[in-house]
Structure 1
């Protein structure tokens, strides 16, 4: 009975032209081979399944092909065939994860001194090279720097950060990129057509996206999908196999959000839980959908019209404003990060949906106005409540607008405040400031002052306090204190005198020192220290304010 070969091995590229998604590597290596500029050590880095070992084997073929060093191996000579079959005697593949010790490396280096048996070059491919021990790295330093002319080293790793810089500096390094899911999908389509297996476009897109940039993962998942779906790839079957969410669920969720229908949202969440789909994955897909819709709104030409969900994306991009999409995207990201802190995943997921409904940007005033047109059974009482709400909301909106715009009172020319004579430390204590605004005022000193102008200076180390919100609060407090408009300006520079914060600190230190001196001179305390070897803990001494004694 014949045994089938897995797709990842059967469709492994055998030349540079069949490689997918690594054009920058192919171009560099092809040019080097055509110009006969062969380096003695190469390092290929990148995530799993992007072609590191495959490129290493093709490179070994290119430099050992019997037709000569070429970027296009003949694939017919014994050397090419034996490398493809994995039994070429002068191609030594070593798994560093299984051979971490220095003894294995010494044996390999001793063997490297001998000339190739039949090939032009003896090629050593060391996979996952970052797993070697420090001693093993040190042992190969000299050989890697000045190897015999007949030896080529090709190193591959998923974690180049763990490789010593002394090794990195001796290698020609190439970083392999993750393969875009569009290219993965196209390659899967090509393979399925060659294998005579029916498929749907959406199922290929699901497989390509789940591979996360790894072609080997994509082919392994494709093998599994072919078995699961009995040789006929359909979207529903792939969803069931991957445990992913159907796109229709996402569109229903988004439609319910637009309609602000909480009951529908919870019903969909219950259905997702029943199907045992990961809520983390659902939030990831929702965020991805929001991203695509946002791109469609701002850069519509960037959306590929051939993707299956194109019409839906365009439809939703017109139903939701760009501001809402940005808000929803942030809420979903935060909801996903908080999922592990929730009582359970269901609670975390539904709470994220509730946040989206609660923080939907909308004109509440217009909603209240429109609500007054709706007839109710107890219309008189409810209309009165709506009018009260409308009045309160209008008042709040006016107050908020005044605070945000900081509309200062008109200047009365007969009552202009004389700021040239004020004492800033004294004035700060009289202003009704709190929190960070008070801290900003306390760390400033007057740089320039005139009749109605005031410039405050702040040290550079406190510039984090110069938020517009805190500046505005000080401005409002000064206007209210002087009953007129004050022209206020802030700057960063050197302080020549003492700020209110520094004066306050000096006063506290003086009080503390007096309290310590008072305790030290107390007869009872001195008696305890002299006769019982007691020690005075200065940090425990606190000065008593006058109000605390009453």
Structure 2
């Protein structure tokens, strides 16, 4: 008798587990896991304990702060029956009873989720109204969760109003939106509103560290801090970035590194940003452009460079105010910021912020972003050489030196020439006065309004080429000076920062004087008595009369 063997069916390969992205895998399942929304959780907990539950809730906030997750948690809290089936509404749903598990899995028949972006019409709302008349099948409450509710049409909102104001006792409405300003006031007034806050970078960093640990992935604290800042208060956005960073680390090995995250996000290296800002503050235009191009060649977006510079200026201003250092901030970074804070006044920091902010907006709109970024940085370089208006006004008031107040020498009569033996103008202002007196008003005006002086000596004039000027301007000026003085002049342009133009100095002094006048007690009193008044002209006698 031969043995027989029942081989049965061949073994089947095990089904690969479908990967769930971190944003879904770590969606909060209890209010304790919902980070950054403690005030809302406290309010909801008190309302549930006292039985003061609203019939409609409106959850607002930026993307990824937990609006839909909160709506599902509220649905759980209201319908939880506890492990023994005898429980009531609670701020701590058990998560094991049938309603809790069905809601978590999105299959509860009495918890209806609707995306208003794809159900915008009045017919969709009518279906909700008709269905709301019937009692819940198996839950304590029939709950309607409408996401992005601001997408409903005007007619749909109007159709919902009556039911929303006086719904059946077994119905609760939970609305979520990122654009609460688009929700009609008539709807807002019928809902209990909760504004979910942006989650702080510190909280996000700690949350991402816990997720990385749960996933068995090593991550540098600086890398997690970069991801937290890039998330801009959104837990979902941050988890998506962390997911990408972990995948990148799987290829490169060694865990999630700050350098890899920086490359992945196209962020500018902080050390490179500090170097660039340092070059800008020294007024080195060529050095600034070279530093910018180095980052651009590495793939850093010009707008990201401007943003990083803005962050550096903001951080320096906070250091000057004496704020507590950022958690995890590098020692060398703090030292550089303290050095800048000591050397720069608040006025200079505010001016630098405004210039960079304007540049950031220009780069964002520009057809040629890198070129726009270069021009914005050159504007910052030029502004770094301008004097502080208040300090300039004090120098002028004290009779101190200044290019706009130098005394011009007596010039020859119009039409005559200054001989080689005659004394040449000792100052740049005197040179301009000589040109004006000799009938060269156009050249004099151009020098006053557009020329940035680098160096002047009788017979030699060096201007900054950072200020745009006509191609033949240097040649024309050289010929006119030779004709007027009878002597050969050396006129040239150099690629270095120059002094403010005479017109800029004059305007700065006038602005400083105007600001000082506005701060005098008599003028302040006048504006308080006549708010619509305007200061059209002023005189230093106003200040002297205060005595």
> What TM-score, normalized by structure 1, do the two folds share?
0.67
Superposition map of 1:235-246 within 5 A: 235-246=258-269
Deviation for aligned residue 1:28: 0.9
How many Å separate the matches in 2 of 1:357 and 1:36? 64
Give CA-to-partner distance per residue, 1:241-272, whole Å, 9 cap, x none: 11111111101102222443333211111112
Secondary structure at 2:161 match in 1: helix
Equivalence for 1:175:
195
1:270 aligns with 2:337: no
Equivalence for 1:325:
349
1:84 aligns with 2:104: yes
Deviation for aligned residue 1:336: 1.8
1:44 aligns with 2:59: yes
How many Å separate the matches in 1 of 2:316 and 2:293? 25
Secondary structure at 1:154 match in 2: strand
Equivalence for 2:134:
114
**Contact 1:406–1:472 (CA<8 Å) still a contact in 2?**
no
Equivalence for 2:275:
252
Secondary structure at 2:384 match in 1: coil
Q: Which runs of 5+ in 2 are unaligned?
A: 1-15, 82-86, 393-399, 404-423, 428-454, 462-498, 515-525
Equivalence for 2:533:
463
Equivalence for 2:338:
314
Deviation for aligned residue 1:337: 2.4
Which of the residues 177, 194, 199 maps onto 2:219? Answer: 199
**Structure with more of its chain in helix, by fraction:** 1
Deviation for aligned residue 1:343: 6.7
Superposition map of 1:37-186 within 5 A: 37-66=52-81, 67-186=87-206
Secondary structure at 2:533 match in 1: helix
**Contact 2:317–2:349 (CA<8 Å) still a contact in 1?**
yes
Distance 1:205 1:103, change over 3 A: same
How many Å separate the matches in 2 of 1:156 and 1:343? 37
Give CA-to-partner distance per residue, 1:360-408, whole Å, 9 cap, x none: 257799999xxxxxxxxxxxx9x99766699xx9xx89x979986999x
Give CA-to-partner distance per residue, 1:157-213, whole Å, 9 cap, x none: 111222222111111111111112221111111111111111111111111111111
Equivalence for 1:6:
21
How many Å separate the matches in 1 of 2:167 and 2:511? 73
How many Å separate the matches in 2 of 1:216 and 1:124? 23
Distance 1:135 1:339, change over 3 A: same
Distance 1:132 1:290, change over 3 A: same
**Contact 2:266–2:304 (CA<8 Å) still a contact in 1?**
no
Report the more deviating stretch, 121-130 or 315-324: 315-324
Distance 1:263 1:145, change over 3 A: same
Superposition map of 1:501-540 within 5 A: none
Which of the residues 184, 187, 190 maps onto 2:210? Answer: 190
Equivalence for 2:375:
351
Give CA-to-partner distance per residue, 1:470-496, whole Å, 9 cap, x none: 2229x79xxxxxxxx9979xxxxxxxx
**Contact 2:281–2:381 (CA<8 Å) still a contact in 1?**
no
**Structure 1: 4+ residue segments shifted above 4 A:** 340-343, 361-368, 383-390, 399-407, 459-462, 485-488
1:35 aligns with 2:50: yes
**CA-atom RMSD, angstroms?**
3.6
Deviation for aligned residue 1:122: 0.8
Secondary structure at 1:124 match in 2: strand
Deviation for aligned residue 1:346: 2.1
How many Å separate the matches in 2 of 1:486 and 1:206? 56
How many Å separate the matches in 1 of 2:234 and 2:140? 33
How many Å separate the matches in 2 of 1:401 and 1:268? 33
**Contact 1:295–1:303 (CA<8 Å) still a contact in 2?**
no
**Contact 1:109–1:140 (CA<8 Å) still a contact in 2?**
yes
Equivalence for 2:37:
22
How many Å separate the matches in 2 of 1:361 and 1:158? 45
Distance 1:162 1:226, change over 3 A: same
Deviation for aligned residue 1:461: 9.9
**Contact 1:324–1:361 (CA<8 Å) still a contact in 2?**
no
How many Å separate the matches in 2 of 1:271 and 1:281? 14
Q: Which runs of 5+ in 1 are unaligned?
A: 369-380, 408-435, 437-455, 477-484, 489-550
Equivalence for 1:303:
325
How many Å separate the matches in 2 of 1:80 and 1:486? 78
How many Å separate the matches in 2 of 1:16 and 1:343? 47
Distance 1:13 1:151, change over 3 A: same
Deviation for aligned residue 1:314: 2.9
Distance 1:259 1:405, change over 3 A: closer
Deviation for aligned residue 1:131: 0.9
How many Å separate the matches in 1 of 2:295 and 2:508? 47
How many Å separate the matches in 1 of 2:401 and 2:73? 68
Secondary structure at 1:301 match in 2: coil
How many Å separate the matches in 1 of 2:311 and 2:511? 37
Secondary structure at 1:92 match in 2: strand
Distance 1:261 1:140, change over 3 A: same
Distance 1:295 1:7, change over 3 A: same
